[in-house]
Amino acid sequence: MASKTSRIFLFLLVMTVSFVVLILSQEYLSKSWTIFSGKHELGWETFPLNINLWGQEEKTAVPPSVSTTAVVETPMPLLYRGNFTKLPQWDFDDVYNQDAPPRPTTCAQSLRNSQDENFKKAFLPNIRLFLHKDNINMSEWNRLSHFNNPFGFMQFKYDDVMASVKLIPKPKEPLLLPKPGGDGCVHCAVVGTAGILNGSKVGAEIDAHDYVFRMNGAVTKGYEEDVGNRTSVYVHTQHSITASRYIFGKYGYKSAPHDEGIKYVLIPEAMRDFQWLEGLFKGNESFSGPHHKKWPGAYYSGQYNENRFYVLHQDFLRYVRNRFLKSPNLNKRFWAIVRPTNGAFALFLALHTCDTVDAYGFMTDEYMKYSNYYFEKYIKSNVIFYANHDYILEKNTWKSFHKRKIIKLYQRTEPETKTETPKQH
Ligand SMILES: *[C@@H]1O[C@H](CO)[C@@H](O)[C@H](O)[C@H]1NC(C)=O
Ligand SMILES: *[C@@H]1O[C@H](CO)[C@@H](O)[C@H](O)[C@H]1NC(C)=O
Ligand SMILES: *[C@@H]1O[C@H](CO)[C@@H](O)[C@H](O)[C@H]1NC(C)=O
Ligand SMILES: *[C@@H]1O[C@H](CO)[C@@H](O)[C@H](O)[C@H]1NC(C)=O
Ligand SMILES: *[C@@H]1O[C@H](CO)[C@@H](O)[C@H](O)[C@H]1NC(C)=O
């Protein structure tokens, strides 16, 4: 009896110590990055109002009568994207909330145990993933109002955004859990829409994963042999879920995936996404809105459930851009529209919620051999490069992650048909 009690005590002690060590190492990681990037810390509360518009911090001392921990009660004045000729650099740009519950690493092969130095330095395993009513307050609002959408709330009015954010329920469970009876690892497939999947016959391999992520115009009916038929997590925006029917209808797309128990993840990319959320959570009273003719929940084919609906946090989106996909186009005049693709955000969501990630249907060096989308089976189209995304940077990132064994990227190399060496960009 006594020895059982002491064993339990010892166990709890070990758990507590490991937890503290984990927290400290997180702290260390974020600090070392802070120093590495030449930035320093500042209290948000005292900061926002004395920045000039061109990103130069004015080192105004805090008036002695104002406590540095005083709570700011009002939204800061709006900043406008048009006032900046390139991405503004704030001292706190690369600082993020990191409060996702730490996950025990029972999975030896987890990407969380990667020994790749650059990945270890950049990766924040417990970065805050989701936005909800309990993790926003005025100082958070003011901090995030420095960053353009979807990385923050620049140019948005407090009341417009908060009308929906204050309705977002706090997620009741993590996005993914290890499957019972499995090996303790969360194995994920993330399926993009690239033409490389046409004729690939990897559908069964994709479906064999614990969880399958898809995004945007993820039509599976009629393409199962190549892309599988399961969807566990569907990543979308208001635009992608409403427009896909019109754009991809001719390829058989009828509605967003709606497998039993599916989890929906929204990227709040623009004001219309917040209006969408407001309609979604208010339910029947708000059937139509400026960007939807019927209740938004009806777009999820009977599978909408508040408990399985997640909204990505601005810190997570900005972290993905800043640490992994910082395009040189952010220094150009059209900087404010430059952002990672929905597919990239979905892949990074998987990197933060899974132990192993296999990516299918993402861009590879041989993209010119394939159509833009896998469902363009009969006429070979060319890959379209939109100015708001840096596809080449993303392509090279996936390839590098694959080489460094962080993900497994499906590249469909068929040596006998390989005729040229990949182009250098
Ligand atoms: C910033 O942009 C706003 C809105 O476009 C404009 O009214 C204002 O004059 C600009 N301010 C500066 C300093 O250019
Ligand atoms: C506001 O939220 C942030 C992030 O969740 C938290 O760190 C901070 O303590 C909160 N501030 C107040 C005054 O509640
Ligand atoms: C997917 O395909 C498998 C095998 O053909 C089948 O058993 C399963 O019911 C399908 N699942 C869905 C969601 O259609
Ligand atoms: C919501 O609207 C639908 C369609 O008009 C109706 O059938 C349903 O009963 C309503 N539900 C609630 C909870 O009011
Ligand atoms: C799609 O795959 C099929 C089967 O491999 C092939 O015959 C067809 O040419 C491919 N379509 C395109 C546009 O590449």
Return d(Cα 418, Cα 422) in angstroms, integer. Answer: 10
Pocket test for ligand 5, best of 202, 377, 412 (most atoms within 8 A of CB): 377
Q: Does 8 fall in a domain?
A: no
Q: Does 67 fall in a domain?
A: yes
What does DSSP assign to residue 257? Answer: -
* Mean pLDDT computed over 276-299: 83
pLDDT, tens digit (0-9, with 9 covering 90-100), for 187-204: 999 999 999 999 999 999
pLDDT, tens digit (0-9, with 9 covering 90-100), for 208-251: 999 999 999 999 999 999 999 999 999 999 999 999 999 999 99
> How far, CA to CA in Å, does 205 sit from each of 24, 159, 349, 352?
39, 47, 21, 22
- Contact status, residue 32 vs residue 121, Cβ threshold 8 Å: yes
Q: Does 239 fall in a domain?
A: yes
**Total domains present in the chain:** 1
Provide the pLDDT for residue 62.
35
Q: How confident is the model at residue 421 (pLDDT cuts 50, 70, 90)?
A: low
Does the pLDDT of residue 60 top 60, yes or no?
Answer: no
What is the Å distance from ligand 1's center to 79 Cα? 9
Q: Domain of 421? A: 29-425
CATH classification at residue 90:
3.90.1480.20
- Contact status, residue 148 vs residue 119, Cβ threshold 8 Å: no
Q: Does 20 fall in a domain?
A: no
Q: Does 69 fall in a domain?
A: yes
With vertex at residue 235, the alpha carbon angle to CA 234 and CA 238, rounded to the nearest 5 degrees, is: 115
Q: Does 11 fall in a domain?
A: no
Provide the pLDDT for residue 57.
36
* Mean pLDDT computed over 266-278: 96
Q: Quickly tell me which residue has 């997570």 as its tokens.
A: 316
Provide the pLDDT for residue 37.
29
What is the Å distance from ligand 3's center to 413 Cα? 28
90 residue type, one letter: W
List Cβ neighbours of 366 (8 Å cut-off, separation of 6 or more): 196, 411, 412, 422
Residue nearest atom 10 in ligand 2 by C-alpha distance: 137
Dihedral sign computed on CA atoms, order 25, 26, 28, 32: positive
**Is 381 touching ligand 5 by the criterion CB < 6 Å?**
no
Q: Quickly tell me which residue has 């829409």 as its tokens.
A: 193
Q: How confident is the model at residue 158 (pLDDT cuts 50, 70, 90)?
A: very high
**Is 31 touching ligand 5 by the criterion CB < 6 Å?**
no
Q: Does 12 fall in a domain?
A: no
Q: Which ligand minimizes its atom distance to the CA of 298?
A: 4
Between 291 and 218, the higher pLDDT residue: 218
- Where does ligand 1 bind, in terms of residues with CB under 6 Å? 53, 80, 82-83
Report the atom number in ligand 3 closest to the C-alpha of 230. 13
Provide the pLDDT for residue 61.
32
Q: Does 4 fall in a domain?
A: no
pLDDT, tens digit (0-9, with 9 covering 90-100), for 315-352: 999 999 999 999 999 999 999 999 999 999 999 999 99
Confirm whether pTM is higher than 0.85. Answer: no
